[in-house]
Amino acid sequence: MDDETAFRIFLSHDKVRSVSLFCDFFTQIDGAMLARRRTWPIGALMKTIILARNTLLLSLLMLGACARDDAPQDSLGAELRVLASSYTAAWNSSDPAKVAAFYAPDGVLTINEGEPARGREAVEAVAQGFMSAFPDLRLSHDRLELDGDRINYHWRLQGTNSGEGGTGNTVDFSGVESWLLSEEGLIQDSLGTYDAQEYARQLYKVPEAIAAMGLSLFPADQSLARAEDGIALEDGSLLVVDQLHGLRKIRPDGSSEPFGKMTVVGYRHEPPESHGGANGMSLEPAGTHVLVADIFGGGIYRVSLKDGQTSRIHLHEYGVNVAVRDSSGAIWFTQSAHNPAEVGEARMWAAIDKPLIEGAIFRIPAEDGRLGFNAELVADGFQFANGLAIDEEAGALYLAESSALRVSRFDVDIAAGTLSNRETIVDGILPDNIELGDDGRLWIGAPLPNTILIWDPKTRETRSLFPEPTAERLAMMDEWVRRRDAGESLLPLVTPAAFAPFPGFVTGIILGAADGRTYFSGLMNTLVVMDEVPGG
């Protein structure tokens, strides 16, 4: 008779007649396994767990009392150590379903007194969250201990927050799960605790390379969602685009909340069915409203700064990158690609991957202060038309043409709604958002080589706010140009190495903040902050 069969027969009795009998029996089995220098297969053990029901829990907790005099002392026993080791291996498997399988069908996991995850599906979602945030997650456990009717499983988690929207920082922190096992030996209730402040300190610490440049990150908890553009408000707050809600208002203390009612009037981000692309944002000349463009859905939204009242004033057939209003009331906007809403995001990235000449500038005219219904094509033939800025005093309109790696200047006739005399003012970079300063200088967000440039119309000179790109970054820019010219795929170059040490690509500029700082936005979950602009 093998060990497993003997144990099954033993457990088939209606009840354990005495603890002494149990101890004697298990000591014999344990001694046989030690003699053969093997342990039961996990699968066989789990089958036995299911058959054992009430008796199993007793067996796990009494093993220490039954330990042989000549065996190492263990307060809980070999089988529970196997359970803990298997649970640890499940966390290291990159398969959240394996973690959930250790829980009873109605099992509950609660972390730091937060919202309980009830049932295996919810537990699996929790595990998936950690595994997605830390693709290289490594969990280990050092000890188990009894605490009344619970078993405390002490763990240590190490990993790099390199998942989508991650900070890029490494963490190394510890905690404990306090288990209450079901009759089947599965986790019925787990109370998880760890030092949340220490975890946040490690997760959101400013990389040394950023601090060395005199920069910081805001908000510190990196809670934004694709904050691609933004403006400063007079009350000291910032308003940034937010993929989930359309807009988010950030208070000076870093706390934030959704702003406006874009979701009420048609903005939708409900993946995988639809992806919202709140993108470029601009302040109207009167200073009472902002315009927000949806690069995936094609909507242009007008939002009141006073009360957040929102209207969708135009729906374009393709995505809209940014929209800007002039003093006549007309609205100018850029189209980057032929990307209708049903394939808005995928088609946009395709236009970046292998540049297409689908970019254009449109204008919605206004008469007697009333906006027209139809958009008129002003100019086309651009490779991913992106940021747009108008300097009415200088009679200039600026356009960032990302895939063409240049920024152009046009003479603009506001009354007639026409452009002429195009000239390239900056080239050799991949530009994104552009912003006009009060002094007429043009600020340019350049994801490659991931810097902020300032172009002076008086001197016609360009300078970078950040240190000169490294040799590796310059080589990456050269490879981008080579691939573009050869018609090869570009997206494989879009990796953390392309934007490090920043938490993402620096694309936009927020000027005029009440605190005197300058903020830089991008496809990030935070903003980069410069306390003082070098050279004014």
Beginning with the edge strand found earlier in the chain, give each strand of the sheet holding 256-258 in spatial order.
230-232, 238-242, 246-250, 256-258
For residues 229 and 322, is the Cβ–Cβ distance under 8 A? yes
Amino acid in the structure at residue 344 = G
Q: What is the pLDDT of residue 134?
A: 93
Q: What is the pLDDT of residue 204?
A: 77
CB atoms within 10 A of CB 383: 21
Which pTM value belongs to this model? 0.70
Amino acid in the structure at residue 191 = L
Q: What is the pLDDT of residue 499?
A: 83
Distance (Å, whole) CA 259 – CA 261: 7
Distance (Å, whole) CA 333 – CA 299: 11
- pLDDT 10s digits, 107-161: 999 999 888 999 999 999 999 999 999 999 999 998 999 899 999 999 999 999 8
Helix ranges (H only) for 315-386 are: 344-353
Distance (Å, whole) CA 366 – CA 157: 59
Phi, psi of 227 (to 5 degrees): -75, 80
Q: Which residues of the chain have pLDDT under 50?
A: 1-75
Q: What is the pLDDT of residue 76?
A: 58
For residues 243 and 277, is the Cβ–Cβ distance under 8 A? yes
Work out whether strand 461-464 and strand 506-510 pair parallel, antiparallel, or are unpaired: unpaired
Beta strands in 182-233 (DSSP E): 187-194, 215-218, 230-232
Q: What is the pLDDT of residue 122?
A: 95
User: Measured between alpha carbons, how far apart are the two ends of the chain, in Å?
Assistant: 86
Q: Which contiguous run of DSSP H or E holds residue 472? A: helix 471-486
Q: Which residue(s) pair with 175 in the sheet? A: 155, 194
Spatial CA neighbour of 128 closest among 169, 163, 154:
163
CB atoms within 10 A of CB 531: 11
Find tokens 């050092």 and name the residue.
142
Q: Output the CA–CA distances (angstroms, integers) from residue 494 to 64, 153, 354, in the order listed.
A: 55, 40, 13
Q: What is the pLDDT of residue 27?
A: 36
Distance of CA 283 to the CA centre of its chain: 27
- pLDDT 10s digits, 202-256: 887 777 788 888 899 999 888 899 999 999 999 999 999 999 999 999 999 999 9
